[in-house]
Chains A and B, each alone.
Chain A
Amino acid sequence: MSTLDRPTPKVGVIRRAWNFIVELWFVLIRPSSVFGLGVLVLAGFTAGVIFWGGFNTALELTNTEKFCTSCHEMRDNVFSELKSTIHFTNRSGVRASCPDCHVPHNWTDKIARKMQASKEVWGHLFGFIDTREKFTDKRLELALHEWARFKANDSLECRNCHSAQSMDITKQSPRASDAHQRFLFTGEKTCIDCHKGIAHHLPDMRGVPGWQ
């Protein structure tokens, strides 16, 4: 306390900040002598609702096609490729946009993925893939990450829409019906094992199992 009581004009910025933190700490740990407990609880609750709502709103804003394609790395490479595939336009008008496949829908996993994505923000700021050449050079590595993720969670993001239970194989072509019965229903393979490159172009596939 002696340092707080004896302010000198030559105190540095760090020192002053430290003093402020110490002072704040002592204010915070002391019981309030002005506000009632009910007021504090209510105010805390309201502030919590506002904070949590704001947090989730901001989180959902980063979970939109518009946000994802605001970076040219996404817009000019992977998003432009998505446009010609069945996940973008199809007969029933349902679109799977970026986060439907690339962000887990479960809250805990979503937060974990969002924390990982901070590396992607870093990569964007420092231009890891800011040209087409850099992107194509790095493409296999990036694709391998996504395939590993799908493999590890048993293609969970595919199964958010496509479930084996609701799949009517009599409506499928003979090839598809046969392959799904042999590999999907037996659990021998998961979606991504066969369905690579369905929404984006493939990188150089030499060395990837099952490809030439």
Chain B
Amino acid sequence: MRKLAIALLVLVIAAGTGSLLADPLASGLRGSTPLNDEGPAPPMTPMRNTAEREVRNYPEQPPVIPHSIDGYQIDLNSNKCLSCHARARTAESQAPMVSITHFMDRDGQFLASVSPRRFFCTECHVPQNVTTPPVSNDFVDIDTMLSRAAPGGRR
């Protein structure tokens, strides 16, 4: 009886691993590529380039970049973003000025120009690609939240 049980267990495990190995583990994100292989890269999608401001989902959100920034150099030598978004350049470029918070050092003191810790724009601000996200987002902003009849209720 005991031997039969062990044999049965071995059989079940073998069948299980066999079917696992045979299964390509298809998922919506990685497709049917086996786990130990790298699938073909999805095609690159165009960048959103309308130059129209996008709504922020919460007040502290760094605004996303509504235009293409291909080839923009941001390093120790130069910052291409600032040739439009710097204070002195906004009249000519009509671009929004870099926020005043970017002039503050860590003690809250305002500096004459953009603080070194806020110099590298793309650490927080990112351009947007025109694509369908593989995972949908059900984020609800605070205004929608507050206007609901039963706060904290079913979304």
Contacts and interface: CB of A to CB of B under 8 A. Distances in A.
Interface in A50-87: 84-86
B128 interface: no
Contact of B83 (A173, A178, A210): A210
B51 interface: yes
A205 interface: yes
Contact of A173 (B51, B79, B94): B51
Interface range on chain A (Cβ under 8 Å from partner): 10 to 19
B82 A211 contact: yes
Interface in A155-212: 173-175, 178-179, 194, 197-198, 201-205, 210-212
Given A210-B89, A212-B86, A203 B71 contact: no
A145 to B, nearest CB: 17
Nearest to B82: A212
Nearest to B81: A212
Contacts of A212: 78-79, 82-83, 86, 113-114
Given A173-B51, A211-B78, A197 B114 contact: no
B50 interface: yes
Interface residues of B, number: 22
A175 B94 CA distance: 10
Contacts of B93: 179
B132 interface: no
B80 interface: yes
Nearest to B87: A212
Nearest to B119: A212
Contacts of B80: 197
Nearest to B94: A178
B112 to A, nearest CB: 11
A202 B49 contact: no
B119 to A, nearest CB: 9
B68 interface: yes
Interface string B74-102: 00111110110010010001100000000
Contacts of A205: 77-78
B68 to A, nearest CB: 7
Contact of A174 (B51, B71, B73): B51
B54 interface: no
Given A204-B77, A212-B114, A173 B86 contact: no
Interface of B: 49-52, 67-68, 70-71, 73, 76-80, 82-83, 86, 89, 93-94, 113-114
24 contacts: A84-B71, A85-B71, A86-B70, A86-B71, A173-B51, A173-B67, A173-B68, A174-B50, A174-B52, A175-B67, A178-B94, A179-B93, A194-B83, A197-B78, A197-B80, A201-B77, A203-B77, A204-B77, A210-B83, A211-B78, A211-B83, A212-B82, A212-B86, A212-B114
Q: Which 4 A-B pairs have the closest CB atoms?
A: A205-B78, A202-B78, A212-B82, A173-B49
